Amino acid sequence: MDAATDTTLIVGLGNPGLQYRYTRHNAGFMVAQALAEKLDINLKRVKFRCQFGEGKPDGTPLIIAKPLTYMNESGSAVSSLLHYFKVPLERLLVIHDDLDLPLGVLRLRSGGGSAGQRGVQSITDKLGTSAFPRLRFGIGRPPGRMDPADYVLEKFRPAEQELLRMTLDQAGLAALCFVREGLEKAMNQYNGEVG
């Protein structure tokens, strides 16, 4: 078996730039960064308009990446990394924010539509398939008549910080479970509410 087929690629979606750093749309970046720090993987390499690092937790080759493109152009970075490192589609995990789930809820899926998430749509368009695992990180719906486009670019409120921290921790554990034990086990263990 080709050693490269053992490699897992975890991609956290977000927008580059300090002004977006702690916004709802950057939940994927936050999970990727927290997981990288936990595993002592330095995300200092830059290639294909992507910031990434490599490690071998438990001997399993792992790449954690954050595209440096804006959200709606994530597909080119993800596609390039996937092909360069010869990672099979089933070993790709895309982590992204999801308006349809409340904060504190995670959903792992083997594929499906983008539900309007432009980063996921960009990846689908570039790969020519939507059949790739993803971890949906709930951020909740905007209040009242607020435009979702404005809402996702807002920072998490102070009252949400504790639940956010717990959800980031849980999402990191879910991603690690995916790496070590596969999607099915991760879905069974981590789909649902945090806590």
Active site residues: 25
Altogether, the residues listed in the chain come to a count of: 195
Radius of gyration of the chain (CA): 15
169 closest CA partner among 14, 11, 57, 37: 37
Pair of tokens at residue 132: 């790739």
Separation of alpha carbons 48 and 109, rounded Å: 26
Q: What is each CA distance from 156 to 103, 130, 161, 162, 192, in whole angstroms? A: 10, 29, 7, 10, 20
Pair of tokens at residue 92: 């790709």
Amino acid in position 156: F
Separation of alpha carbons 36 and 88, rounded Å: 21
Q: What is each CA distance from 80 to 16, 32, 124, 126, 189, in whole angstroms? A: 18, 18, 13, 10, 31
